[in-house]
Structures are given as structure tokens and as C-alpha cells.
Structure 1
């Protein structure tokens, strides 16, 4: 049953909400970060696909680009390695692929790619500020036939541009609209930052509670907030403005629901999925309650913990004990 007090009336956006999830227009990057020497020169694999006219050329292309091969084409699925070469060759030589290529180049022209390079440079500068030993990976773009969005490792980042064509794109992933809403060009770098956070986000593998999942996501969002400080909070968590407003305006209702239903220490995978995995809404709490509301609440707890303890990002990310963060935060909206 939906919580009866959730979103009875949507109030005007408060000053707290504006400061928490607004545009951060006055965001300034300090010189100790902006002066870090980082250069990103995106390798346009997508522009090389037109020249793959034979199986041998396609095989050589894939052999030279193991990150794309491993991350997007999953060769381990095939007993014969020639199978993946043949499948990809059939894709890129299909007449319909030319249309997808044209659409991708229309959205991601030279100006958009330069903008992407600048955003990535700023992201990597921030990461190196917090983690000086961080090695900037090679960055490549490719048209995939809308197979996958991103592949991120320590050495290479591959961006499937055709996954991010946006609402005006002729070709979109086969996903529901609430997921498609955050497959636009502006979400590429935030998604990359979130994936990079996995490298630093330490967890207690023995803790199977919903609280552990919530704090994990909360720490991930805190990482993105630190390395992309000018990014709107809603774009960190992939919420619309209305969803952010609904969450903040009903924070006490959301928290009370978790308390009254003893959800923090829930261990059932099915129950946990309701609150941290992709859903358009969380109807158990209210008809207008955003999906993944447990990840949002986890972020609020982590933010309160940061405010109270003033722990640096590195120490936060190294803290494995979700319960410790929860208790020290003493979060109550």
C-alpha cells in the first residue's frame, strides 16, 4: 500500500532544494585542480569503420582494439573467434549501418567531440587531485549498432556514441522511456565518473543488507559529486527535476517508511531490488515516489556523514562499514 502522506501536495522548491540540486552556476574550479596537466585526445574508432571492407580488415581492427572487442562484442561467448569477427563485419557492412553512422556523426560532430574531450579532461583532473596515482586511460568512441553504452577499465574507456543520440535521435536503445531519458550526450561523462567510482568504493562483502547497498550507491554519488562539482545533483543520480523535488520534499516520509518497515537491515534480494534497482517509480511508498529511492536515501545519509565528520573523499571511499556511516550520520530529515 502506498504511503498515504506521500506527495499530497507538491510544494514550491525551497531554498534548501535549490542549493542541493540546482545548477551550481557559481561553481569555480580552484587552480590546484585546473592546473593539473591532463590532455584527452579521443580516438575516433567510429570514423574507421567505413574502411572495413573485408573480413581481414575487420579482424585487424578488432585485434588492434581489444578494449572494444572485450567490452562490447564479448568474444568469450563464441567457441570460434572468427564468429565474432564475422558478426561484426556483417554489422558494419550492412547498408542500414550507414544510416546509423550518419545519425551518430550528426549528433556527435567535431564541436560535440571537443566538448566531450574538455569535460573528460576536467573529470580526470579532479580524479588526479584526489588520487594522484590515477593514470588517465585512453578514450575511444565507436558506433556499435546500439549494442552497449560504455566500457571502462583502468587503461581504456570506450564510448558507444550511438547509445547516446538523445530524444531527437532516429535510433534509440530498446529501453523504457525513464531509462532513455538519461541516454543523452550530457550524461556520458557522469556515467563514466560513476563507473570509475567502483575502483575506489570499498565494501564489506559479508554485509548483505539493503543498508550496505544504499551506502554503496551513496558513496558512489559522493565520488561523482566530488570529481564533477559543477554537475547538478539530479544528473548525478539520473533524476528529473520533478523527481528530485519529490524526493527532497518528502524526505521525512521516505525515511519513516524505511524505519517503519525495517528495511535498512533487509537481506532478501527481491525486497532490496525494489529500492535500489531501475524502476520508474517506487509505488510501495507513493505513486510519485521516484525509482531507486533507496540509492537517493543512501546518498543523503552519506552526505550527512560527510557533513558531521568532515572526512576526505579518499577516507570515505575506503570506509567499508555501512553501519558505521549510518550510525555516525544520525540522519533524520
Structure 2
């Protein structure tokens, strides 16, 4: 007969096994390395146009197509191969506001080692779940003049660090972004933005769904893949919500789903409806008290239920599943 102590041990093991997160995997044996470069330091330390010209040539070699995009599209300074580009870039780094932004970047992200460890771990998780997926070779940080947060190429990631200085930052308070955007210009959203950018650019591709359901499934897969890359990140950050927005969405999930069914929206192709439910906004118009992108949240819950009820389906299998109805059939909010 088992003793009370042994029964307790068995019970604890059973509870732990049943509640284990299938995405919380051990990646200690996964081999992956990448480089990190900080172009803002190399640029803002230049003391003259000639130094900027020399730095530009070095940065073109290091950053290649990403640096070309940065100079031409982000800073709108022309081609990095133009003879006059050094002058334009020097104007940029000597601008009073941009110098302040660089100082704030140094204060907030001067020691980037913790972020580097998190980023490497993130891509180890991606490699674990999707061994054939493209992986970055290098991440480059810079000052994007408040134009871009994260951008990805097939082998590099660019991060405009000034976009994560926080809503209380002296410059962000003055820039012309909507309040709901400023409120989330925080470093805590950096990891999810990196995962989001890489997945869309190099793993899943852009959303091409034309129906409400196809949008739900696409964004549900995307959020689940982000979950797989960042299993220890709080859930509200994985969808770029505040904790209050996430809690409201969980509590309202059943009512929202019933509303969608009652309105016969599941197979709707109404573009205005899709924009309301899936694109960035301060709220989802028509649903009082909701955060924006509630359709993405609903899709994530749908995909999570599908994966919970089909333990044999891997993350790779999920991304290849193109039968949306199969995923839809498993979705039953608790109080439906």
C-alpha cells in the first residue's frame, strides 16, 4: 500500500504532466549563433562629413541590402552609393532631436547583452520547431528617425531602437503618433516584434486570406508560432496587448464568438469588416471596451484549441494545414 508521501509525489507528477506546456521545450542542445551590430554607435560617433563617408562605406559592406534599405527607404537619404550621401547622413546625426534620441538609446540599450541572449534563444526555439526555416545571420540596430520598428530580410534583422524608448520618453511625447501607438512603444514589445517580422518575411509570408475565417486562421497560426518562439513571454505581450486588454479579451471571448456567428461573418469577404477586426487600431469598432485586432486574438484562441485537441500535430504541421474548416471545427469557447 502506498504511503501518503508517495501518493503526494505521484499526484504532483500527474498534475505537472497534465499542465505542461508543449511549447516550453528544452533548446539547450540546439546549435545556433548570430552576430549583433550597432550601427547607431558607428554613425553618431562620426565627427565630420569625411568620417561619415568612411563609415558609410564600412556599413554598406556590413549591412548590405539591409543598410541600403535603411539609408534609401528609412532615412530617405538617397542611395548609400551616391557621392553626396555622407553629407546627408552627417546632417542626420548632427540634428538636435536625433542626437537626443541617440543619447536616450544609449541610456536604455547601452548594454544589449540580455536582449541578445533572448533573441538567440528565440531563434533556437524556431529551429527546434521548424528545422528547415530560414534563420538570421545578423541583427543590426540603428536610429530609424521614428520610421520603422523592426524590418527583416532573408538573412538580417534591422531594429530601430528609438521606437522602444517608452511613452514617457521626452521625444516620443512630442512625435505625432496616436496615443495608443505611443503607449506601446516599449522595450517589452521588442521580442515579439522581432519574431513577428521574421515569421511574416521568411516563414509564413504575407496574409492573403480573403474571408473572415481565413484571416482568423492566418493570424492564429502567426500568434501560435510567436508563442512557440517565445514560450516564456507573458501571453499579453505575444499579441501586443496590455495585461488589461488581454484579460478583457479572454473574459469576452465567448460573447464575441457568438456575436460573429449571429452576424454570419465567418465566411464574410467584406473588406471594411476585415479591417475593423484584424488591423491595428485603438479598439475594434462595434465591440465596446475591446482592444484593436480582436479578430487576431480570436484566431489565436481557435488555433490554440486546435493544437490542444490534436497533440500529434506539430508546429510545422500547423503551418502547412490549409484546410481552415478543420481548425474551425475544433473551436468551442467554454461558455458557447
* Smaller-chain TM-score bracket: 0.7 to 0.9
Q: Which has the bigger relative contact order, CA under 8 A and spacing at least 6?
A: 1
- CA distance change for structure 1 residues 85 and 215 in 2, over 3 Å: closer, same or farther? farther
Is structure 2 residue 156 aligned with structure 1 residue 161?
no
Contact 2:150 2:158 in 1 (8 A): yes
Distance, in Å, in 1 between the alignment partners of 2:74 and 2:160 is 17
- Secondary structure at 1:42 match in 2: strand
TM-superposed CA distance for 1:216, in Å, is 0.7
Question: Among 32, 38, 47, which residue is 2:32 paired with?
Answer: 38
Question: Among 45, 48, 52, which residue is 1:53 paired with?
Answer: 48
- Secondary structure at 1:127 match in 2: helix
Distance, in Å, in 2 between the alignment partners of 1:137 and 1:79 is 26
Contact 1:281 1:289 in 2 (8 A): yes
- CA distance change for structure 1 residues 76 and 210 in 2, over 3 Å: closer, same or farther? farther
TM-superposed CA distance for 1:297, in Å, is 0.6
Q: Which residue of 2 aligns with 1:152?
A: 152
- CA distance change for structure 1 residues 159 and 202 in 2, over 3 Å: closer, same or farther? closer
Unaligned 5+ segments in structure 2 are 1-18
Is structure 2 residue 129 aligned with structure 1 residue 130?
yes
- Secondary structure at 2:222 match in 1: helix
Q: Which residue of 2 aligns with 1:201?
A: 204
Q: How does 1:293-304 map to 2 (within 5 A)?
A: 293-304=294-305
Distance, in Å, in 2 between the alignment partners of 1:256 and 1:321 is 22
TM-superposed CA distance for 1:39, in Å, is 3.4
Unaligned 5+ segments in structure 1 are 1-23
- CA distance change for structure 1 residues 244 and 204 in 2, over 3 Å: closer, same or farther? closer
- Secondary structure at 1:124 match in 2: helix
Question: Among 305, 319, 325, which residue is 2:327 paired with?
Answer: 325
TM-superposed CA distance for 1:135, in Å, is 3.2
Query: For this pair of structures, how many residues does the alignment match?
Result: 303
TM-superposed CA distance for 1:76, in Å, is 12
TM-superposed CA distance for 1:61, in Å, is 4.6
Contact 2:101 2:171 in 1 (8 A): yes
Contact 1:202 1:319 in 2 (8 A): no
Q: Give the TM-score, by structure 2 length.
A: 0.81
Contact 1:140 1:159 in 2 (8 A): yes
Contact 1:141 1:159 in 2 (8 A): yes
- Secondary structure at 1:148 match in 2: coil
Distance, in Å, in 1 between the alignment partners of 2:142 and 2:76 is 21
TM-superposed CA distance for 1:62, in Å, is 5.1
Q: Which residue of 1 aligns with 2:265?
A: 263
- Secondary structure at 1:242 match in 2: helix
- Secondary structure at 2:290 match in 1: coil
